[in-house]
A and B are shown apart, each in its own frame.
Chain A
Amino acid sequence: MSSTVDIKTLVIDGKEVSARAGQTILEVARENGIEIPTLCHLDGLSDVGACRLCVVEVKGNHKLFPACVTSIFEGMEVTTQTDRLKKHRRTILELLFTERNHICSVCVSNGHCELQTLGQSQGLTHVRLPYRNPNLPVDASNERFTVDHNRCILCTRCVRVCAEVEGAHVWDVMGRGINSMVITDLNEPWGESSCTRCGKCVQVCPTGALFDKGKVGNSHPKHPDFLPYLNMMREAK
């Protein structure tokens, strides 16, 4: 092993693990078979800590830390599954479901949706908060793809894949807080934007917000696994 590699040891859920300095809690946990739920994180994209589903507890600090953007340190003691964390994760999911119009039964992603899957895996049996039912538009101006803002959870995966991998930076976020919207170019219709029609944003979208017009019914599994492979091949060059 090279002497330049700085190895740290830490404890996650009672298990002693070792990691390279600079790694995040999420990376180390997954390398060691410890599952932490995530939504905005996607292997192959930078992390932004937007969704907060990956929050964990670190001994000695009462704050919660997003595992995807928190670096490990020597002697760190991390807990990923506590009642407190489960409660926060469920509340986050409830907030996501109430914020826009997630109608699974008629969604192209029904059965393939990361939000739906998380709702199930995190034991979300009901939503205690009132639904906002906003009146949001659908943009079907692109000849191949549609964006339905009703199903967008503002994870910004589309923004990141477009900027970081495709290099086009067509997608971005407009507005603040609850009024934020993903937009193409300077809020032009998608079909009139500088979009390259590569479709990466559709494949990384965790819900049915971005979908392929050719995929109707409940037949739209997404395939974001191309990303790490693409990055690896690029690095190899």
Chain B
Amino acid sequence: MSKTIAIDPVTRLEGHGKITIQLDDQGEVANAHFHVTQVRGFEKFSEGRPFYEMPSLMARICGICPVSHLIASAKACEAIMSVDIPYTAAQLRRMLNLAQMVQSHALSFFYLSSPDLLLGLDSDPASRHIFGVAQAHPELSRAGIGLRRFGQHIIELLGDKRIHPGWVIPGGVTEPLSAAKRGEILGMLPEAYRNIALGLNWYKQIADQFHAEAQVFANFPSLYMGLLNEDESVEFTDGALRIIDAKGAILENGITAARFPEFIGEAVEPYSYTKFAYYKPLGYPEGSYRVGPLARLNIARSMGTPLADIELKQFKLLALGPVQSSLHYHYARLIDMLYGIERIEEILTDPLILDKHIRAIAGVNRLEGAGQAEAPRGTLMHNYKVDENGLITWANLVIATGQNNNAMNKGVAQAAKHYIKGGQYSEGILNRVEAVVRTFDPCLSCSTHALGQMPLELQLVNCAGEVVDVVRRG
């Protein structure tokens, strides 16, 4: 008899969702879905608010990457103001964004995914967590905690708070960087370099053990999108978007935030509160694409920093064209972190970084504005319309997790079909299905704008729609 397996909640993710796997009469996987189960409504309740309040309002979407929302939102506001912010402000915001990327990636890789990688996908779930990692490999867990502290402490030094710093505002930032704070961050760099080297070396040693998983962890051709500088190096805060196809050919280049809606549409499916972004010329779902660390490295010709460039060369050897398996998000994430640390050092040694001119002031000069930036998990776009007094009349946010949504669903189905045969499955197999989602490091609270508690579940449903099994955690 056909049935449905539910993994509910899916654990070690940011936010809550569930996975359902539908089995047919023979016990084979007919289909599988990743559901994001709550709605939040930030776009709606921001209507009527002054536009200059949007960065701090939108940052509240997420406690993991508030900085991404601060930056994309501030840039959308600056488009409404029609201003270019001072150079030093742009550099300080770039550093803040990179610090957040490092801490968020450290959370994703070391806290959420390293338990699977170090202890094994079939290991005892009771100890398959960061504390289990700390017991089995203390140095690795210390490196992860150290990298997260590194990012969080920079955010705190710049913005006075680790979470939801109020420092980024439309037009720039509120306070210049002091020499003492610059010195403190510079002093943290050697340890950060040691920690990321430890993480990278360890991952490269164990990566081969997951060759089988790499074949079925969302391993399929797709489009990729991410921000790039004019010299085709990786960029997180400014630059413009490029879209490549599954063979690496450039489909679009130099997409600014204002032109984002020309190329990207959003589809809706009945089983998720997260939308499904797609590249408009190819339509939905053919135009589905991936964003985030894997996509950024597939698109870029270089990282633009010496150590990360050495790693990028090795990464590119994983495939002839774009690297297609989402398992390699993990490697790309570590390279992102190394790049972030190197760029932070570059920014701090810029002679203009202590400049006091850090804010442009202007009123409403356009009635619509858009801003884009790379969040740790991929491209983020905010688009606002205002009335002549600057009050928001419409807002749309296109979130990284929504852009990876189709790939995550396809990846969940791919892994489920591979592992679940004749209705037989174990906890380790369901954990593999969850681990596919973890490679993307989705942020469900961002994507759905969801509210409620954190847990996630996996459901197994029969063809009559009856739930036959539920794995619930949280």
In the complex, chain B residues whose CB is within 8 Å of the CB of A141? 389
In the complex, chain B residues whose CB is within 8 Å of the CB of A177? none
How many inter-chain contacts with C-beta < 8 Å in the A-B complex?
A: 43
Assess the A140–B56 pair: CB atoms within 8 A. Answer: no
Q: Is B170 an interface residue (CB 8 A)?
A: yes
Shortest distance between the CB of B166 and any CB in chain A (Å): 4
Q: Is B150 an interface residue (CB 8 A)?
A: no
Complex: A216 Cα to B168 Cα, angstroms:
10
Assess the B48–A138 pair: CB atoms within 8 A. Answer: yes
Given contacts A137-B48, A219-B174, contact A214 B56 (CB under 8 A): no
In the complex, chain A residues whose CB is within 8 Å of the CB of B60? 105-106
Can you list 19 contacts pairing A with B, beta carbon distance less than 8 Å? A105-B60, A106-B56, A106-B57, A106-B60, A137-B48, A138-B48, A138-B49, A140-B389, A140-B391, A146-B50, A148-B50, A191-B389, A213-B50, A216-B56, A217-B166, A217-B167, A217-B169, A218-B56, A218-B166
CB-contact partner of A217 in B48, B174, B389, B390, under 8 A: B174
Q: Is B52 an interface residue (CB 8 A)?
A: yes
Complex: A191 Cα to B389 Cα, angstroms:
10
In the complex, chain B residues whose CB is within 8 Å of the CB of A6? none
Interface hits, A91-134 → B, CB 8 Å: 105-106, 108, 110
In the complex, chain B residues whose CB is within 8 Å of the CB of A191? 389
B residues with a Cβ closer than 8 A to A are 48-50, 52-53, 56-57, 60, 164, 166-170, 174, 361, 363, 389-391
Complex: A143 Cα to B364 Cα, angstroms:
10
Q: Which 9 A-B pairs have the closest CB atoms?
A: A140-B389, A217-B166, A218-B166, A216-B52, A216-B169, A217-B169, A106-B56, A106-B57, A217-B174
In the complex, chain A residues whose CB is within 8 Å of the CB of B49? 138
Shortest distance between the CB of B277 and any CB in chain A (Å): 27
Assess the A213–B52 pair: CB atoms within 8 A. Answer: yes
Residue of A nearest to B165 (CB): A217
Shortest distance between the CB of A91 and any CB in chain B (Å): 28
Residue of B nearest to A140 (CB): B389
Shortest distance between the CB of B41 and any CB in chain A (Å): 13
Residue of A nearest to B388 (CB): A141
Assess the B56–A217 pair: CB atoms within 8 A. Answer: yes
CB-contact partner of B363 in A105, A108, A143, A218, under 8 A: A143
Assess the A138–B56 pair: CB atoms within 8 A. Answer: no
Interface hits, A184-217 → B, CB 8 Å: 191, 213-214, 216-217
Assess the A105–B164 pair: CB atoms within 8 A. Answer: yes
| 0/1 interface trace, chain A 216-233, chain B, CB 8 Å (1 if under) | 111100000000000000
In the complex, chain B residues whose CB is within 8 Å of the CB of A110? 166
Assess the A140–B50 pair: CB atoms within 8 A. Answer: yes
Residue of A nearest to B390 (CB): A140
In the complex, chain A residues whose CB is within 8 Å of the CB of B390? 140
In the complex, chain B residues whose CB is within 8 Å of the CB of A138? 48-50, 391
Shortest distance between the CB of B420 and any CB in chain A (Å): 44
Residue of A nearest to B59 (CB): A106
Complex: A120 Cα to B27 Cα, angstroms:
60
In the complex, chain B residues whose CB is within 8 Å of the CB of A219? 166, 174
Shortest distance between the CB of A100 and any CB in chain B (Å): 14
Shortest distance between the CB of A147 and any CB in chain B (Å): 11
Residue of B nearest to A142 (CB): B389
Interface hits, A133-169 → B, CB 8 Å: 137-141, 143, 146, 148
Shortest distance between the CB of A6 and any CB in chain B (Å): 52
Complex: A213 Cα to B170 Cα, angstroms:
11
Residue of B nearest to A148 (CB): B50
**Known contacts A108-B53, A191-B389, A219-B166; 19 further A-B pairs (Cβ under 8 A):** A105-B56, A105-B60, A106-B53, A106-B56, A138-B48, A138-B391, A139-B389, A140-B389, A140-B391, A141-B389, A146-B50, A213-B363, A216-B56, A216-B169, A217-B56, A217-B166, A217-B168, A218-B56, A219-B174
Complex: A108 Cα to B55 Cα, angstroms:
12
Shortest distance between the CB of A125 and any CB in chain B (Å): 22
Interface hits, A54-85 → B, CB 8 Å: none
Complex: A219 Cα to B57 Cα, angstroms:
15
In the complex, chain B residues whose CB is within 8 Å of the CB of A218? 56, 166
- Specify which of B164, B168, B391 lies most central, judged by the most chain A CB atoms within 10 Å of its CB: B391
- Specify which of A110, A140, A146, A218 lies most central, judged by the most chain B CB atoms within 10 Å of its CB: A140
In the complex, chain B residues whose CB is within 8 Å of the CB of A216? 52-53, 56, 169-170
Complex: A170 Cα to B164 Cα, angstroms:
37
